[in-house]
Structure 1
């Protein structure tokens, strides 16, 4: 029976990798970022369309009827035609707009990677929160059992005249405090499990803090900062935003230049009566137009100034992104170092506290210590054990926070068994501006 129970528990075990994998497929924020990237990619096709021709076909019919002098007349006509319009030169404004659209699509793609990191880090935090709260619930439940045993012991000693009512009262007070702490930890666990389910899409099962992702962390802080400055999606997104703003500025300046367009159309007309139709002929025309803006009420100058300000703003935002990423790397690195020191201190405190508690209990039984001494020793040991649990959790979270700060908390870097969400293929598809014409032809 015990082997069967162990087998069931193992089957329900849920590693950090499994939670991250489930969350990656489930996360609405990530799906929203993907859809935003696809929508942004459509801007490329829309920009390219401004330098390509628009071709249309038309057909129109007309049916008349009249009764004159007893004669019934039903003249009819059908007209067909093809039209062509194209901007052949716009002072390279369209080229600048295409570049801006491509850069905007890159920004949206990097936003997917940035959202991916935020989602996966939130999953780790929720995972460790559940694991920590479960450990605290078990610890405080054990604490209650200890206080119950001490209360019963104090009552027994009081009955035989070896204890006092003060010992009983103190034990009762500590038991009440332990029960309150237990209920608080249970409530915290319920909240943590709800948060976990929101991210992962399923309730947490048997969790374990073990993982092998620490191997992705470099040996030194400077190396970690260098990797972050090169590959963090927030920095790459800032660089793409600068390119988009520069192209927007070029497009605004190009609006002052000339624009040349050509147009043409050709068509035929059939007419007749009583269902007998004959072609009247073939007609067509070709034209061109050149326009040069002279004055637009200040709109053109304002557009240039606004575009230039936007460009400067993106450069300032990029510098701020560098600072934020660097700060995040240093903070996470320091968090790992601090957590390791706290773990060592907490382990020593737990070992010492266990020894002290055993000694105080023995001395209490010999009459040289009081029940209060035992209760205080238990409280100190419990505090040390809680500190060890929290420090261990902090180290795991700091490890993943560092990966996120370096830009490496992605499905690809972690080797998650998922299809990586990306709009790159979609962008390549919409970049084919002639597909619309081929679709019509098919």
Structure 2
């Protein structure tokens, strides 16, 4: 028994390392800010936005000129009856190529690239929501498991006291061996439940460190984000339809598909290119005394597709199918977001009701346990009655802990479903990452001539 007490004390000390001094306390807002600044999933999503932005520059290059410089050096030699002859010819010049008109195909591809860049930006916002919601869940799970450890340790102490009391009564002839066995059985169950809580806390702490980037320290269930919850379900749904990243992504996907369809149809039209060249060195051959000067040429090339083996038609049909698919996917996104809002709204209402019920059950259970113990001492109840009353009280207390945890998680799940679980809406003290500035830079026509941050 003494050995078990030592082990329990050691496990409790390890578990309660989550609660150091109050000076190291970490609020929920601080945990959210830390996760936003350090989480690699958000950093990866931001890089995806920048990568998508580069497609805009790639598409815009289709209507911009390409200019190149070249220098060629040729050494010629021959051996004949007259002897050995050789010569060196050096030429240098510039080349210029530009598509003047391609039936607006490149314009459609640019619009498609911009829509896909917007889609990546919305995906970044969605990833932010997923990360921040995971932070809330792990934060609350640590609090829940810590509270369960404390509760179950108290429960073990209670069962230990009942087992000792049963033994004492047996020794003076007032109890039975059945009561001793019953109390020892409940003590064993209490110890097992305690160890399960310790294991669960270890898992929750690992999850917390994964999302936040540091171990949990003296967490608190209090938060100041209830003001983000609207007064009605209809208002929550309206917010989601206007702001949820999944819906905004679906709209951007429709734009991209429409532009892709336009680009495919434009491939049937003509293309006009301008090709220019300028020779500035060695333009007139390698004769013994070639004249100095420059030469150049400009030509225009017009091409019209007539038959491409069915590839152009297939491209148009595929683009049209993708456009219809994007619209169908958008309908699915609307339905999913609406379902998420209704589900989280109902979960929040249910958790609030569960808290009220659990509080009443705890209050009643405490009175029952106290009364049954007194009746047992007077011989009007048995030890089993005491153990059953304590088990019911413990269950009610655990339900209260679970309900409080569920209420906070449901609150932030609803905020996320509304599309408002963002560092801006939460007023987190962080610099908000966005790809908009990067997109503006890559739109610059002279970008290739200088570096970009």
Deviation at 1:77, TM superposition (A): 2.9
Secondary structure at 1:206 match in 2: coil
Secondary structure at 1:207 match in 2: coil
Deviates more, 1:66-75 or 1:217-226: 66-75
Matches of 1:300 and 1:124, distance apart in 2: 51
- Equivalent residue number for residue 119 of structure 2: 107
Which of 245, 263, 269 is 1:251 aligned to? Answer: 263
- Equivalent residue number for residue 4 of structure 1: none
Matches of 1:242 and 1:205, distance apart in 2: 45
| Structure 2: gaps spanning 5 or more residues | 1-18
Matches of 2:202 and 2:213, distance apart in 1: 15
Which of 397, 400, 420 is 2:432 aligned to? Answer: 420
Which of 22, 27, 33 is 1:21 aligned to? Answer: 33
8 Å Cα contact 1:91-1:254 kept in structure 2: yes
Secondary structure at 2:61 match in 1: helix
Normalising by structure 1, we get a TM-score of: 0.94
Deviation at 1:57, TM superposition (A): 1.1
- Equivalent residue number for residue 30 of structure 1: 42
Whether 1:264 and 2:297 are equivalent positions in the alignment is: no
Secondary structure at 1:432 match in 2: coil
The count of corresponding residues between Structure 1 and Structure 2 is 430
Output aligned runs, 1:42-191, within 5 Å. 42-64=54-76, 75-191=87-203
Deviates more, 1:55-64 or 1:183-192: 55-64
Instruction: Give the alignment's Cα RMSD to 1 decimal.
Output: 1.9
8 Å Cα contact 1:76-1:271 kept in structure 2: no
8 Å Cα contact 1:268-1:279 kept in structure 2: no
Whether 1:436 and 2:448 are equivalent positions in the alignment is: yes
Output aligned runs, 1:333-344, within 5 Å. 333-344=345-356
Could you list the per-position Cα deviations for residues 251-281 of structure 1 after superposition, in whole angstroms to 9, with x for gaps in the alignment?
0000011111110101123499xxx997643
- Equivalent residue number for residue 8 of structure 2: none
Secondary structure at 2:444 match in 1: coil
Output aligned runs, 1:297-376, within 5 Å. 297-376=309-388
Deviates more, 1:42-51 or 1:65-74: 65-74
Matches of 2:192 and 2:205, distance apart in 1: 20
Could you list the per-position Cα deviations for residues 44-87 of structure 1 after superposition, in whole angstroms to 9, with x for gaps in the alignment?
11111111111111122234567889988663332111111111
8 Å Cα contact 2:138-2:204 kept in structure 1: yes
Deviation at 1:380, TM superposition (A): 0.4
Secondary structure at 2:153 match in 1: helix
Which of 244, 250, 257 is 1:238 aligned to? Answer: 250
Deviation at 1:165, TM superposition (A): 0.6
Matches of 2:183 and 2:281, distance apart in 1: 106
- Equivalent residue number for residue 293 of structure 1: 305
Q: 1:243 to 1:251 in 2, by over 3 A?
A: same
Deviation at 1:314, TM superposition (A): 0.5
Matches of 2:60 and 2:282, distance apart in 1: 37
Q: 1:144 to 1:314 in 2, by over 3 A?
A: same
8 Å Cα contact 2:283-2:294 kept in structure 1: no
Normalising by structure 2, we get a TM-score of: 0.91
- Equivalent residue number for residue 398 of structure 1: 410
Deviation at 1:98, TM superposition (A): 0.7
